């Protein structure tokens, strides 16, 4: 077919003209090539998900640190155990290997160096020269990969005893690692007794090495990183006919790689994780991952010993690793595959509504086995329940994942009701195993069950129900005591694998180096701070040293119930290095070391950064402005992912061919890039959505929007059309004012950012030296018909405006101000004049600003030259809703006039149903002719005005309905970690239907990250009125919290009673100015008194809200409950009328 093309090239080479026949053949050949190329382009556009950002935009934004610092450790104190003491001393004498690289200070050197921490917090560092291999791309769940390296400082905040114990545990890790490194480096395991190299236990993937990576890093040792980059290979998998265990490889190998990446920021680990994750994807089918998989043959099955049924623990313990892999790559496929099992779980429901699930899963029917199965929290089911909690914690406790927390709470209730039993002779609580059907209990407990106390303790850290916290923590302590007694009751001090009750009778006498007990001790210590748990762990560690230690590592002890010499198996599981020793080390360290609010441990003890810890700033979804309609919870996750990975648009081949012949192929390709697909109830691009109905709905359809966004004629201003002589005179006066202002600027500071109106001084670089006043005035000049002035300004833009100098002086620009003033001015000038010069400049500026985008928001401050970005320090590096929510019109419009969807995608991704509440003011559409946002119309106006105008009409039932609506809105905001910060009666809007909504979200901030850390005092929100502020906020003595919002709500309740502006009476009586009144409020010398006509129930609620002590104020949800009491509007019993 391509012979005419070759013939044509030969003719050209000889200087000869082709014949007409050759020309015809050449034309046909080129046409076929063109059609094939267009088909390929369209196919790529329809199947490749578009990541939100390209790799180049992040190369110098989130640098990854290759390396780290040695652990800071101090000399060893005395120990009771002489052998352990000697080992600890030896450890201090040997140089410490730096994590991943050589040349790191030894322990003793690091101990005498300058302090690296001001307090007990961990330090995350970034290098001065970023790596170029970083290619992270955000997803809707987590727009961030690892943020710099975690630098281990394990002995900060510990005493001499703990430090000595940590050194001994580190010495044990060095002994185990030395045996492996010397005799089996790169193999799956080493024989701890024989020193044999066990190459292919788990597939020949160096499982012990990879599983131990994060333990080595945390302890400040190891040379394993280079092997991972240079030697780790997956290409041999399955060629010998063997299957791999998808479960074990995911939690050990994939989890180890991801954790090493999260701790070190080294992209070599992420690259290997992606490679392995892609190899495991074909093991997925029918909503689950099959347990046994041959990578080479692509065959998959379940274990034969289970009757080829799936196991609950196998199917439900991949989600954390797969979500993290999606989050560090920007590819949602891994998370989608893992989360598919959660859809099955929700569909099937628990066994007889107990909150618990059978451990067997029927693959063919896609249902849980209701016959010949078990219900247990031990082997076969354990980590499923663990991951319900941990996946929710990892996700940042998102509302879309709240079903996981609900499933966890239901499961714990089921554990307490159906599995928790008490052995009176042993004074011990244990968790039985139940067979189904029949629900017959077996009084036995596996060592594996000893993870439960730690899980329960971890769950209490984020539980909002105080009674449940007490109950769960009490259950954790009781079960923890039983698990410790598994060890203390044996002659060796080591636990058997299985016991039965009563009597702690040994059913399996092996101690398999398992970590579950010390894992729970670590969580219990960090939650309760009780050193008893550290002491228990130390006793267990000494028993391990005495009985399990061998020449080449540590082996499983076969007879823990025998006082005779221990028999040790030639088997050292990789989890001994990955879990057991790591948890022992963390148990003796300070809670601030690898803190639980920043990391979640997978079931193999690999710590992953939580999404909340990955956000360098707080951010707020802009759903109050751009809201999505989601039909069900099941669709929400698909919506989140689809916002950045849009649905594919399929075009039949025949239409493509027709388009080629009529010259529309360019139009199709461009529209594929920016137009939404039909069907879904969301839109990830630049088109307005079809909003839910409101009392006064204005619905803008995608069809009408597309028509209005089409290129149109130049706008010709006719300012005097349709106005009378008075209006004309006023217009002329305003035009003269504009001419006066422009004349001063043009004469004194033309091309500068500003002119000083009094001195006439030229202020060149206020906003970056980009002629902001000139560009900001372009559309005003055009609209007012100042044609000469507009033309001179246009020429300056064409010949003088440039952005290449930005950031070279080290200064940052305000992204918010530059977008609304400079970019908005250029876009508006283009829209009015249709002069392509303005569009070209707008595109140039926008491309420079795109690196300011990250984590679903534009950072407020950006150095265009260095690409460094941050938030304003005076906001304590938090994002304001007004800043991140006031760029959408400019960026969407830029996408529409350029055909480049990237600008619109940057501002579309936050549009998830976060603030979707009927008690918050909702947007209903966009007026496309001028890009104005349209919100629902509340015809009675705001509450303050309504009370003043209709004093006698408002009854207490109506008032309470409005108050409840405001309280429900606050409860919703606080539930999704958003502080309103400007609650007042002017921001409560009313409708004649009786509905009330809360507006005024311009000062709202998120507390996703700040809620778990100590922040400096929050500054007063701009525009907020001190009359509604809590005293601690007025005094700036404490961070702004949800309790401050509740105080403001209490002031609104007082307004409902008094019908006055707060403190207006006192201000008029004493003649106080605002500053003096603020001081009186701060000193609490002025109070709000309630009238005797106010219902007593309302007064009681208000007094609690207005408490001087923020900790004594109720939550917004509690206020809703109190205001919902049936007799609150009719009870007039005597109550205090002043808050105190």
Instruction: Write the CATH number for 993.
Output: 1.10.510.10
**1138 DSSP assignment:** B
List, for residues 129-152, the tens digit of each pLDDT value: 333 233 333 333 333 333 456 767
Rg (CA), the chain: 34
Whether 861 and 1007 share a structural domain:
no
How far the first Cα of the chain sits from its last, in Å, is 92
Q: Report the candidate in 746, 730, 843 with the shortest Cα–Cα distance to residue 790.
A: 746
734 domain-assigned: yes
Percent of the chain exceeding pLDDT 70 equals 70
Q: Is 603 annotated as a binding residue?
A: yes
- pLDDT of residue 7 exceeding 60, the answer is no
Q: What pLDDT score was predicted for residue 23?
A: 64
- pLDDT of residue 86 exceeding 80, the answer is no
**Section 687-700 average pLDDT:** 29
Whether 750 and 605 share a structural domain:
no
Q: What pLDDT score was predicted for residue 686?
A: 26
- 516 part of the active site: yes
Whether 257 and 370 share a structural domain:
yes
- Residue 1028's pLDDT band (boundaries 50, 70, 90)? confident
- 1112 part of the active site: no
Whether 897 and 927 share a structural domain:
yes
- pLDDT of residue 337 exceeding 60, the answer is yes
The last residue of a domain, from among 562, 587, 614? 614
User: In sequence order, which ranges of 562-712 are alpha helices (DSSP H)?
Assistant: 574-575, 581-588, 611-614, 633-642, 653-662, 665-674, 702-708
Query: Is there a contact between 634 and 336 (Cβ–Cβ < 8 Å)?
Result: no
Residue owning tokens 């004074």: 427
Of 789-793, 1013-1017, 1067-1071, 1078-1082, which one has max mean pLDDT? 789-793
List, for residues 255-264, the tens digit of each pLDDT value: 999 999 999 8
**1112 DSSP assignment:** G
Whether 738 and 752 share a structural domain:
yes
1091 domain-assigned: yes
Residue ranges of E strands in 524-604: 549-550, 553-554, 599-601
The last residue of a domain, from among 549, 583, 614? 614
- How many Å apart are CA 854 and CA 52, to the nearest integer? 10
The last residue of a domain, from among 599, 614, 629? 614
Q: What pLDDT score was predicted for residue 386?
A: 96
225 domain-assigned: yes
- pLDDT of residue 654 exceeding 50, the answer is no
- CATH number for position 126: 1.50.10.10
- How many Å apart are CA 915 and CA 969, to the nearest integer? 9
Residue scoring higher pLDDT (1039 or 274)? 274
**Section 504-511 average pLDDT:** 95
Of 222-236, 408-422, 678-692, 836-850, which one has max mean pLDDT? 408-422
- 382 part of the active site: yes
For 360, the 3-state DSSP assignment is strand
Helices (H) and strands (E) in the chain, counts: 44, 38
- pLDDT of residue 842 exceeding 70, the answer is yes
What tokens were used for 279? 């190899």
- Residue 688's pLDDT band (boundaries 50, 70, 90)? very low
Sign of CA dihedral 614, 617, 618, 621: negative
Whether 266 and 386 share a structural domain:
yes
Q: What pLDDT score was predicted for residue 38?
A: 60
Whether 860 and 971 share a structural domain:
no
Of 319-323, 434-438, 660-664, 920-924, which one has max mean pLDDT? 319-323
Q: What pLDDT score was predicted for residue 878?
A: 61
Choice among 343-357, 449-463, 917-931 with the minimum mean pLDDT: 917-931
Q: Which of 141, 163, 252, 689 is catalytic?
A: 252
- Residue 432's pLDDT band (boundaries 50, 70, 90)? very high
Percent of the chain exceeding pLDDT 90 equals 44
Whether 331 and 477 share a structural domain:
yes
Whether 248 and 233 share a structural domain:
yes
42 domain-assigned: no
Of 121-135, 163-177, 1012-1026, which one has max mean pLDDT? 163-177
675 domain-assigned: no
Whether 838 and 960 share a structural domain:
no
Q: Mark residue 501 as left, alpha or beta (left: phi above 0; alpha: psi -120 to 50; beta: remaining).
A: beta
- 579 part of the active site: no
Q: What pLDDT score was predicted for residue 431?
A: 96
Residue scoring higher pLDDT (568 or 1140)? 568
| CA trace torsion 668, 671, 673, 676 (10° rounding) | -120
521 domain-assigned: yes
What tokens were used for 507? 């059913």
**Section 173-187 average pLDDT:** 94
Residue scoring higher pLDDT (118 or 308)? 308
Q: Which of 382, 386, 1045, 1055 is catalytic?
A: 382
Interacting residues of 406 by C-beta distance below 8 A, sequence separation 6+: none
- Residue 626's pLDDT band (boundaries 50, 70, 90)? very low
761 domain-assigned: yes
Residue scoring higher pLDDT (791 or 156)? 791
Q: What DSSP string runs through 248-273?
A: HIIIIIIHHHHHHHHHH--HHHHHHH
Q: Which of 181, 214, 248, 570 is catalytic?
A: 248
Instruction: Kindly provide the b/e burial profile for residues 190-202, where b requires at least 16 CB atoms within 10 angstroms of the residue's own CB.
Output: bbbbebeebeebb
Q: What pLDDT score was predicted for residue 504?
A: 95
- Residue 330's pLDDT band (boundaries 50, 70, 90)? confident
- Residue 634's pLDDT band (boundaries 50, 70, 90)? very low
Q: What pLDDT score was predicted for residue 127?
A: 33
- How many Å apart are CA 496 and CA 511, to the nearest integer? 5
What tokens were used for 367? 């249902």
Whether 532 and 609 share a structural domain:
yes
- Residue 79's pLDDT band (boundaries 50, 70, 90)? very low
Q: What pLDDT score was predicted for residue 667?
A: 38
Q: What pLDDT score was predicted for residue 1060?
A: 86
Work out the number of other CB atoms within 10 angstroms of the CB of residue 728.
Answer: 12
Give the chain's mean pLDDT: 76
- Residue 40's pLDDT band (boundaries 50, 70, 90)? low
Domain housing 790: 725-935
List, for residues 513-557, the tens digit of each pLDDT value: 999 999 999 999 999 999 999 999 999 999 999 999 999 999 999
List, for residues 789-840, the tens digit of each pLDDT value: 999 999 999 999 999 888 888 888 888 889 999 999 999 999 888 899 999 9
List, for residues 1104-1114, the tens digit of each pLDDT value: 999 889 999 99
76 domain-assigned: no
- How many Å apart are CA 694 and CA 701, to the nearest integer? 16
Query: Is there a contact between 318 and 363 (Cβ–Cβ < 8 Å)?
Result: no
**Section 376-403 average pLDDT:** 91
Whether 904 and 988 share a structural domain:
no
List, for residues 188-203, the tens digit of each pLDDT value: 999 999 999 999 898 8
Choice among 66-75, 285-294, 359-368 with the minimum mean pLDDT: 66-75
**How many domains does the structure of the chain reveal?**
3
Of 581-590, 641-650, 1067-1076, which one has max mean pLDDT? 581-590
Work out the number of other CB atoms within 10 angstroms of the CB of residue 283.
Answer: 25
């Amino acid at each position: 077919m391509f012979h005419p093309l070759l013939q044509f090239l030969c003719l050209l080479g000889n200087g000869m003209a082709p014949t007409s026949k050759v020309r015809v053949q050449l034309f046909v050949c080129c046409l076929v090539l063109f059609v094939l190329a267009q088909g390929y382009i369209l196919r790529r556009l329809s199947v490749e998900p578009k990541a939100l950002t390209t790799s180049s935009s992040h190369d110098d934004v989130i640098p990854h640190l290759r390396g780290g610092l040695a652990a800071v450790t101090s000399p060893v104190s005395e120990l009771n155990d002489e052998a352990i003491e000697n080992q600890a001393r030896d450890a201090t004498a040997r140089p410490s290997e730096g994590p991943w690289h050589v040349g790191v200070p030894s322990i003793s050197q690091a101990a005498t160096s300058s302090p690296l921490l001001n307090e007990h917090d961990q330090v995350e560092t970034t290098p001065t020269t970023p790596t170029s291999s970083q290619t992270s791309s955000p997803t809707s769940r987590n727009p961030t990969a690892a943020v710099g390296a975690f630098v281990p400082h394990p002995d900060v905040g510990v005493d001499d005893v703990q430090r000595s114990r940590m050194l001994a545990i580190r010495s044990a890790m060095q002994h185990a690692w030395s045996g492996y490194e010397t005799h089996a480096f790169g193999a799956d395991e080493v024989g701890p007794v024989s020193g044999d190299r066990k190459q292919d236990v788990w597939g020949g993937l160096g499982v012990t090495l990879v599983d131990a990576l994060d333990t080595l890093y945390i302890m400040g040792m190891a040379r394993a990183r280079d092997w991972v980059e240079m030697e780790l290979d997956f290409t041999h998998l399955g060629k010998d006919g063997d299957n791999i265990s998808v479960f074990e490889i995911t939690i050990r190998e994939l989890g180890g790689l991801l954790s090493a990446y999260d701790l070190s920021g080294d992209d070599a680990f992420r690259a290997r994780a992606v490679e392995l994750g892609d190899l495991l994807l074909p093991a997925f089918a029918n909503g689950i991952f099959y347990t046994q998989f041959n990578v080479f043959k692509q065959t998959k099955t379940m274990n034969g010993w289970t009757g080829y049924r799936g196991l609950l623990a196998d199917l439900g313990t991949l989600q954390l690793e797969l979500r993290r892999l999606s989050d560090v790559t920007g590819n949602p496929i891994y998370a989608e595959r893992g989360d598919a099992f959660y859809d099955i779980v929700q569909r099937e429901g628990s066994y007889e509504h107990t909150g618990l699930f059978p451990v067997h899963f029927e693959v063919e029917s896609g249902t849980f086995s209701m016959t010949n199965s078990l219900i247990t929290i031990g082997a076969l089911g354990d980590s499923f329940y663990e991951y319900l909690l941990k996946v929710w914690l990892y996700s940042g406790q998102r509302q879309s994942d709240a079903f996981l927390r609900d499933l966890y709470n239901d499961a714990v209730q089921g554990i307490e009701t159906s599995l928790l039993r008490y052995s009176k002779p042993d004074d011990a609580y244990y968790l039985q195993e139940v067979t189904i059907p029949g629900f017959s209990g077996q009084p036995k407990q596996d060592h594996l069950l000893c993870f439960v106390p730690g899980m329960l303790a971890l769950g209490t850290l984020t539980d909002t129900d105080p009674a449940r916290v007490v109950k769960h923590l009490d259950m954790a302590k009781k079960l923890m005591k039983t698990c410790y007694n598994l060890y203390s009751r044996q002659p060796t001090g080591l636990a058997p694998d299985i016991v039965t009750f009563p009597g702690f009778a040994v059913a399996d006498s092996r101690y398999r180096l398992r970590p579950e007990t010390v894992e729970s001790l670590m969580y219990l210590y960090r939650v309760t701070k009780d050193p008893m748990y550290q002491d228990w762990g130390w006793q267990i560690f000494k028993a391990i040293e005495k009985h399990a230690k061998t020449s080449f590592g540590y082996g499983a002890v076969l007879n823990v119930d025998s006082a005779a010499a221990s028999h040790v198996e030639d088997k050292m599981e990789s989890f001994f290095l990955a879990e057991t020793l790591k948890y022992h080390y963390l148990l003796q360290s300070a809670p601030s070391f690898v803190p639980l609010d920043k990391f979640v441990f997978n079931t193999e003890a690999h710590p992953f950064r939580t999404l909340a810890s990955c956000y360098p700033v707080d951010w707020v979804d802009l759903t109050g402005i751009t809201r999505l309609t989601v039909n069900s919870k099941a669709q929400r996750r698909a919506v989140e992912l689809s916002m950045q990975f849009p649905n594919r648009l399929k075009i039949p081949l025949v239409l493509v061919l027709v388009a080629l012949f009529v010259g529309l192929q360019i139009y199709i390709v461009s529209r594929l890039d920016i137009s939404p697909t039909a069907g879904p109830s969301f839109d990830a691009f630049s088109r307005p959505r079809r909003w839910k109905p409101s009392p006064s709905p204005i619905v803008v359809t995608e069809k009408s929007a597309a028509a209005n966004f089409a290129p149109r004629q130049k706008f010709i201003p006719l300012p005097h059309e349709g106005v009378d002589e008075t209006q004309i005179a006023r217009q002329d006066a305003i035009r003269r004012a504009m001419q006066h202002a422009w004349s001063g600027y043009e004469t004194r500071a033309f091309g500068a950012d500003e002119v000083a109106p009094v001195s006439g001084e030229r202020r060149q670089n206020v906003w970056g030296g980009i002629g902001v006043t000139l560009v900001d005035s372009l559309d005003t000049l055009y609209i007012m018909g100042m044609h000469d002035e507009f033309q001179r300004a246009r020429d300056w833009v064409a010949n003088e405006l440039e952005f290449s100098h930005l950031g070279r002086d080290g200064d940052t620009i305000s992204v918010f101000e530059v977008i609304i003033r400079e970019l908005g001015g250029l876009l508006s000038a283009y829209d009015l004049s249709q002069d392509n010069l303005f569009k070209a400049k707008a595109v140039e500026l926008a491309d420079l600003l795109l690196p300011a985008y990250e984590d679903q928001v534009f950072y407020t401050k950006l150095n265009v030259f260095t690409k460094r970005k941050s938030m304003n320090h005076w906001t304590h590096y938090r994002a304001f809703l007004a800043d991140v929510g006031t760029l959408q019109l400019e960026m969407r419009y830029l996408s529409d006039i350029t055909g480049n969807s990237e600008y619109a995608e940057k501002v579309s991704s936050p549009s998830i149903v976060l603030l979707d509440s009927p008690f918050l003011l909702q947007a209903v559409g966009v007026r496309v002719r001028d890009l104005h946002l349209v919100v629902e119309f509340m015809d009675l106006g705001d509450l303050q005005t309504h009370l003043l105008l209709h004093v006698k009409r408002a009854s207490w039932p109506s008032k309470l309905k409005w108050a409840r609506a405001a309280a429900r809105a606050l409860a919703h905001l606080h539930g999704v970690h958003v502080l309103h910060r400007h609650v007042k009666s002017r921001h409560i809007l009313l409708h004649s239907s009786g509905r009330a909504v809360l507006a005024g979200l311009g000062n709202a901030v998120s507390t996703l990250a700040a809620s778990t850390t100590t922040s400096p005092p929050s500054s007063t929100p701009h525009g907020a009125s001190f009359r509604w502020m809590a005293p601690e906020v007025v005094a700036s003595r404490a961070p702004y919290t949800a309790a401050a919002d509740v105080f403001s709500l209490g002031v609104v309740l007082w307004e409902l009673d008094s019908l006055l502006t707060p403190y207006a009476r006192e201000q008029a009586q004493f003649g106080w100015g605002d500053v003096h009144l603020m001081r009186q409020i701060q000193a609490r010398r002025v109070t709000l008194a309630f009238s005797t006509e106010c219902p007593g129930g309302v007064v009681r609620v208000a007094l609690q809200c207005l408490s001087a002590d923020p900790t004594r104020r109720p939550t917004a949800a509690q206020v809703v409950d109190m205001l919902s009491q049936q007799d609150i509007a009719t009870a007039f019993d005597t109550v205090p009328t002043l808050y105190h």
